[in-house]
Every structure is written in structure tokens, then in C-alpha cells.
Amino acid sequence: MRTLTITPRGPFSGGVKRAIQEVLDAMEILDNAVVFPRSIEAEYGSFMAGSSVLIGTKMGGGRGSYVNSYTSGWLFNTSRKFTPQEKVPSSELPFSPAPYRLEIDTPGSGMIELPGYRLRNGILLLYTTPSYEFRFPGDVLTVGGLEDYAQLSVKTLENGFEGEVTPSLKKGKYVEVAVRGKAVEDIAFFKEGPGTFTYEFLKEPLLMVSHERVLSPQKLQKAMDGFIGLSGHGEFSLILRMGRKSSKEMKFTVELGE
């Protein structure tokens, strides 16, 4: 399990930084739990944070598209909330398999939903369970008519899916495939001709150590070395576009694997 430490910046952040470091020094990280030398007060629940850009400059982005524009911002509007489910007074906090969701756009806007623990001092111990079952209603998506058309064939993988795009373009200029979540759309394929692509979710389990007033999509993005895209569980959409006027959407779900 990879551990990510997300700390605040600024002249008044010393207290929170020290509290995070004290927790890191005290706990032992196992494959499926963290252990403290003595019993602590903790709540198990779910942490949600969402960010949108208030001020920034336009720039190109996405995995494969120069058509969509993203905003690289330096001022964000961020909301945070931890919803407790039960109190866990124990020296061992297990990482029970649970759904999670990450949706992070180019500048760090988006949303995160993570299970885990909140300690009495507001320190968060959140984690991901990278186990998935992808469920598509079909394996073929087609858009267009007699002159221009494009077909997308989908095959599920252990941690994602692969797609094969077969277009026939006379007037159209390009074919695009996007993966859309609740807050973010990520371009998985953009090309003028046929091709294949692979879209995979996180493979490695993560432990995120932060504070409930600090953690946000953009701070997590930095800790994850610039992660852009979608990963997790729930409902998503796969969108096949042919130019700017013609598109077709297929909703699919990702369940927690056994």
C-alpha cells in the first residue's frame, strides 16, 4: 500500500503539520490496516470533497484531445465533508473493502469520495480499494449515418477496459471517445482514423493521511504526481463522438470486486 501525505502550506499551518506527523510516527502500516500502540478514538465513514475553478487561464488538456479546453486555475471553490458511520475505539483500524471515487481534471478541479477514518484531532486516514467489476449494457456503440459513421467495440479488463474505434469519415474530421463521471470528463481517444485505446483505473491501493480542513482534489492530484482522470466505483458514461455534432452515450457501472 502506497502512503500519500497531504499537508497544508502557509504560516499558520504548523499545528496541523505537526499533528499529521505525530500520527505518522505513531502508527504502523500493514497491508490491510493501521495499528497504533494504544487504543485511539476514531470514526469510520466517508470523506467527500469537490473543487471548481474560480479564477484561472485557459489551456489545452485531456489525455488525447485538443478540442476540449480546461481551466488551469489558481483560485478554487472547495467544499469538504466527512460523514461518520460508526465510532471505532481501537488500536487497530482495518481497511475493509469499500467503494471509492476519484474524478480529477487537468487543473485539479473535480471530486473525491473516499472511505476511511477521522481521528479526534481531525486527521484523516482514507484509502482506496482497487478491485473492480465493469458492467457494460453492450459491447458495441455506433454513431452516425450512411455517409459518416463510427463504431466503438469495448472489452473489459481487470482494472478497466479497452476499446477499438472503426470510423468511416467523408465529411467528419475526427472521432473522439470520452469517459464521463459526475464532475469530470476525460478524453480516452482522439483520432482522424481507426485505432485502439486502453482506459484503466488505479491498480495500487492508496492510504491518504491528511486533515479534514486540508484534503481536496487539487492537493491529492499533487500528491499523486499529477493524476488526471477517473477511477473508482459507481455509474459512468462512455461517449462516442464524431465531430462536434454527432454523439452517442453508453452508461456503465463499476462494482466492488470480490
Rounded CA separation 80/219 (Å) = 13
Q: What was the pLDDT predicted at 57?
A: 56
Tracing cell 489525455 back to the chain, one arrives at: 63
SS3 track for the chain: CEEEECCCCCCCCHHHHHHHHHHHHHCEECCCEEEEEEEECEEEEEEEEEEEEEEEEEEECCCCCCCCEEEEEEEEEEEEEEEEEEECCEEEEECCCCCCEEEECCCCCEEEEEEEEEECCCEEEEECCCCEEEECCCCEEEEECCCCEEEEEEEECCCEEEEEEEEECCCCCCEEEEEECCCCEEEEEEECCCEEEEEECCCCCEEEEEECCCCCHHHHHHHCCCCCEEEECEEEEEEEEECCCEEEEEEEEEEECC
Q: Tell me the per-residue pLDDT of 155-176, one tens digit each, with 9 for 90 and over.
A: 999 999 999 999 988 777 899 9
In this predicted structure, the answer to whether residue 71 has a pLDDT above a threshold of 90 is no
In this predicted structure, the answer to whether residue 222 has a pLDDT above a threshold of 70 is yes
Q: Which of 9-13, 179-183, 236-240 has the lowest mean pLDDT?
A: 9-13
Q: Residue 65 — very low, low, confident or very high, per pLDDT cuts 50/70/90?
A: very low
Does the model's pTM come out above 0.85?
Answer: yes
List the chain domain ranges: 2-133+201-229
